[in-house]
Structure 1
Amino acid sequence: MPGIGQSGETPAPHPDSLGVIISMPPALAAELHAWRESYAGPGSSSVPAHITLVSGRARRSWTEAAEHVRSVARNGSPFTISLRGTGTFAPVSPVVFLNLEQGAGKCRELHNELLAGPVEHLLDFEFQPHLTVAHDLDPEVMARAEAEMAGFAAELEVTSIGLYDYARGGWSLHEELVLGGGQG
């Protein structure tokens, strides 16, 4: 559902930003939020736990790119993700994450389908589906996060993807798109 500006009108999407993510169900999101804050401190986890499919921009027109994301969602289907254990991108990038034991292949398929249209991914690293637990913290805290979360396990059914826009200094949901259906 589009955000509403102070004037009551829907703000125009930022032309140079477009993100597509998988959000966590509320109970899992709350649990992950607590874990993430235990590593980075209260109030530090301003971005909810999620799995990024694309962090980038529209190649030409935001409207055209958003319609492509909608088309990918309509042609998709729900799938299951199993989060199991931890990994890290260190020393390349200071990130500790939860592994996708099941569902990583489907995330890669969605990522590739999204990039087959007018959407550009703007990261310096090869796409690897993951859920960030700790990022850019002291090495001791990063090691603690990796060790403490190593036994973590959760499953979720992915039924939608979120189309995001970067506006007013942060990412905001533009639309939640049901996989295999209409808007959710």
Structure 2
Amino acid sequence: MGTVTLGVSIAVPEPFGGLLQERRAGFGDPAAHGIPTHVTLLPPTEADASVLAEVEAHLAEVAAAGRPFPMRLSGTGTFRPLSPVVFVRVVEGVEACTRLQQQVRDESGPLVRELQWPYHPHVTVAHGIAEDAMDRAYEELAGYEAAWTCSSFALYEQGADGVWRKLREYAFGGAAAGVPPQSAPLDEPAATHH
């Protein structure tokens, strides 16, 4: 079956997501159009395609136990010089994101992995581009603010073209709470509502 590259993240909703994606493209980041604006819960992870059903069941369990929480973005930060990234800071929702990403990578589940850096929720707006463009991203979005209630996260797969596509969205405290996730058909409307 081969391997797939998976990621788990919280999408930044409209109108914020589209605006930040456009800004990212405007800074000259070629990855902007292939990466929906998001807060990462699981960085790109190679997995055997055969474990996909297990991954989906695991994420459904994590979501069923979760509850919606407030998210707020404010201002910019950078991981330079360690990593060539400029991001918009998550100032509310940090603990909830941190807890979620630990549950996603839990040792009992199929997505166990070590992280290259300590987990730090953020929204990337420039990555691996010229220093002056990174500086511009950092300065121009310094006053950026957005807030919403986070009520779900999603599983994405990266295509051979480098574009990330959503496979499935997981709402918190899902309608299937209390029902073993294996018994829920994958095309169940409750699992795909937005």
What corresponds to 2:5 in structure 1? 17
What corresponds to 2:171 in structure 1? 178
**One-letter code aligned to 1:32:** L
Aligned equivalents of 2:85, 2:29: Cα separation in 1: 16
| Aligned counterpart in structure 2 of residue 97 of structure 1, from 87, 90, 95 | 87
Aligned equivalents of 1:165, 1:41: Cα separation in 2: 20
Aligned equivalents of 1:167, 1:41: Cα separation in 2: 18
What corresponds to 2:179 in structure 1? none
Aligned equivalents of 1:45, 1:171: Cα separation in 2: 9
Matched, 1:167 2:167: no
TM-score by length of 2: 0.80
What corresponds to 2:39 in structure 1? 51
Cα deviation code 1:98-148 (max 9, x no counterpart): 111000110000000111122134652222110001111111111111111
**One-letter code aligned to 2:10:** I
Contact 2:8/2:40, CA 8 A, preserved across alignment: yes
**One-letter code aligned to 1:171:** W
Cα 1:88–1:160 change in 2 (3 A) is same
* % identity of equivalent residues: 34
Counterparts of 1:84-163 in structure 2, within 5 Å, are 84-116=74-106, 117-121=109-113, 123-163=115-155
**One-letter code aligned to 1:160:** S
SS at match of 2:133: helix
Cα deviation code 1:130-176 (max 9, x no counterpart): 00011111111111111111111110211111111233433221111
TM-score by length of 1: 0.84
Q: 165-174 or 64-73: which moved more?
A: 165-174
Contact 2:24/2:126, CA 8 A, preserved across alignment: yes
What corresponds to 2:63 in structure 1? 73
| Aligned counterpart in structure 1 of residue 24 of structure 2, from 15, 30, 36 | 36
How far has the Cα of 1:58 moved from its partner?
4.4
Aligned equivalents of 2:47, 2:13: Cα separation in 1: 28
Please list every run of 5 or more consecutive structure 2 residues that lacks an aligned counterpart in the other structure.
Answer: 176-190
Q: CA RMSD in A?
A: 2.2
The size of the alignment, in residue pairs, is: 172
Aligned equivalents of 2:19, 2:77: Cα separation in 1: 19
Please list every run of 5 or more consecutive structure 1 residues that lacks an aligned counterpart in the other structure.
Answer: 1-11
**One-letter code aligned to 1:175:** R
What corresponds to 1:3 in structure 2? none
Contact 2:29/2:129, CA 8 A, preserved across alignment: no
Contact 2:9/2:39, CA 8 A, preserved across alignment: yes
